[in-house]
Amino acid sequence: MALRTRRRRLPISAPTGVGVFAMGRRAHRTHLAILLAVLAACGAGREEGRVRPASRIVSLSPAVTELLFAIGAGNRVVGRTTWCDYPPDVRQVPSVGDGLHPDLEAVAAARPDLVVLYRSPLNETAADQLARLGIATLVLSQDRLEDLGRAARILGRVTDRRHAGDSVAGAIAQALAAPAPALGIRLALIAWDNPPMVIGGGSYLDQLATLAGAQNVFHDLGSADVVSLETIAARDPDVIAVLSDRAAVGPPAFARRPPWQVIRAVRERRFITLTGSLFGRPSPRAPAAVAALRRLLEAAR
């Protein structure tokens, strides 16, 4: 099967995970063709192939930025988002915007040969637009840890650092395979107070909680749902985890409000704070995050 080319560059758009259906038919065939080629390259174990390794990469996702540095391709990153803050070296890389609505001009100005985005409806459009500009794109799911493992492998392939990619993927798989022993702690993750919004199953934080040995009392709900205060009270968590962009001192503001006192964990002031950088997004530092979470939980018990 022939790879479709535009100009002289090879468009590498290899979607992974679920969601291939989001694309148009022509792009779909292209992507399918390339995916098969990449997988063939994987299976055959050949280093060279029809794919030229990417050398100027713009990463529009903090998780991807971390992964690229983790597999040793950090020196090839020529553009990052404002949210990318780990590892510290990344600050020397110029930012091309916040990544939520990709600024295509800034991206193109960095003259990348590969742009990596996380899967979202807005980014599908951006990916198509970049492809039309002749820039190769890679759209990766990044909602859960398994997605990160897959992403590590693919990034390893496209940067010609396959072993590093595989080993990072392996570390993630190892962390997934061995959750810590149960702490016997029931946890509620509260993202917002008015209206009360909790984090449920299907989300990265829920995964971390499970791996840390805690039980998310809202595991049966979707990744972020609004519930009544009385529901939280009825499910009686032992500890409440609060998300924050910045490190907080002391219990959150809503802990003082009279209606919240119905919840035992609020009355007993059993709070832990999870700050955005380590916990807010899927990251190859997940094993460290799990360990940190477990320590916080044990301290709050």
Partner 1 sequence: MKWVALGLVAAGALALAVVLGPTHVPWSALASSDIIRSLRLPRAILAFLVGGALGLSGAALQALVRNPLADPLLLGLSGGAGLGAVLAIALHLAGVWALPLAAFAGALAAMALVYRLGLAGDAEPDPRVLILAGVAVGAFTGALTTAIVSVASAAELRNAFLWLWGGLSGASWEAVLVVVVYLPLPALALLAAARPLDLLALGEEPARYLGADVLSLKRRVYVAASLLTAVAVAVSGVIGFVGLIVPHAMRRVYGHQHRALLPAAFLGGGVLLVLADTVARVAIAPRELPVGIVTALIGVPLFALLVRRWTMT
Stretch that binds partner 1, among 102-110, 139-147, 252-260, 286-294 (CB under 8 A): 252-260
Angle between helices 162-177 and 145-158 (to 10 degrees): 170
Residue 92 as a binder of partner 1 (CB under 8 A): the answer is no
Number of Cβ within 10 Å of residue 248's Cβ equals: 15
Which is nearest to 291 in space by CA: 209, 184, 203?
209
Residue 182 as a binder of partner 1 (CB under 8 A): the answer is no
Stretch that binds partner 1, among 4-12, 171-179, 206-214, 226-234 (CB under 8 A): 226-234
Select from 191, 205, 239, 297 the one that contacts partner 1 (CB under 8 A).
191
Burial class of 211 by CB neighbour count within 10 A (0 to 12, 13 to 18, 19+): buried
Select from 3, 100, 122, 288 the one that contacts partner 1 (CB under 8 A).
100
Residue 195 as a binder of partner 1 (CB under 8 A): the answer is yes
Residue 261 as a binder of partner 1 (CB under 8 A): the answer is yes
Residue 237 as a binder of partner 1 (CB under 8 A): the answer is no
Residue 269 as a binder of partner 1 (CB under 8 A): the answer is no
Select from 39, 178, 259, 288 the one that contacts partner 1 (CB under 8 A).
259
Q: Which residue, 49 or 254, is less far from partner 1 as judged by CB?
A: 254
Q: How far apart are CA 39 and CA 209, in angstroms?
A: 33
Residues 6+ apart with CB under 8 A from 242: 190, 248, 252, 271, 272, 273, 274
Q: Output the six-digit token pair for 281.
A: 């997004």
Select from 1, 48, 245, 247 the one that contacts partner 1 (CB under 8 A).
245
Angle between helices 162-177 and 286-300 (to 10 degrees): 30
Residue 289 as a binder of partner 1 (CB under 8 A): the answer is no
Residues 6+ apart with CB under 8 A from 264: 233, 236
Residues 65/82, Cβ–Cβ less than 8 Å: no
Residues 18/144, Cβ–Cβ less than 8 Å: no
Task: Give the CA radius of gyration of the chain.
Answer: 21
For the chain, the distance separating the N- and C-terminal CA atoms, rounded to the nearest angstrom, is: 59
Q: Which residue, 3 or 253, is less far from partner 1 as judged by CB?
A: 253
Which is nearest to 61 in space by CA: 251, 259, 284, 293?
284
**Distance of closest approach, residue 224 Cβ to partner 1, in angstroms:** 9
Residue 242 as a binder of partner 1 (CB under 8 A): the answer is no
**Distance of closest approach, residue 298 Cβ to partner 1, in angstroms:** 27
Residue 233 as a binder of partner 1 (CB under 8 A): the answer is yes
Site string for partner 1, 124-163 (x = CB under 8 A): ----------------------------------------
Residues 6+ apart with CB under 8 A from 134: 6, 7, 9, 11
Residue 229 as a binder of partner 1 (CB under 8 A): the answer is yes
Residue with tokens 């829920």: 206
Select from 5, 75, 125, 228 the one that contacts partner 1 (CB under 8 A).
228
Q: Which residue, 167 or 275, is less far from partner 1 as judged by CB?
A: 275
Q: How far apart are CA 300 and CA 296, in angstroms?
A: 6
**Distance of closest approach, residue 17 Cβ to partner 1, in angstroms:** 23
Q: Which stretches of the chain bind partner 1, using CB under 8 A?
A: 98, 100, 191-192, 194-197, 218, 221, 225-231, 233-234, 245, 253-254, 256-259, 261-262
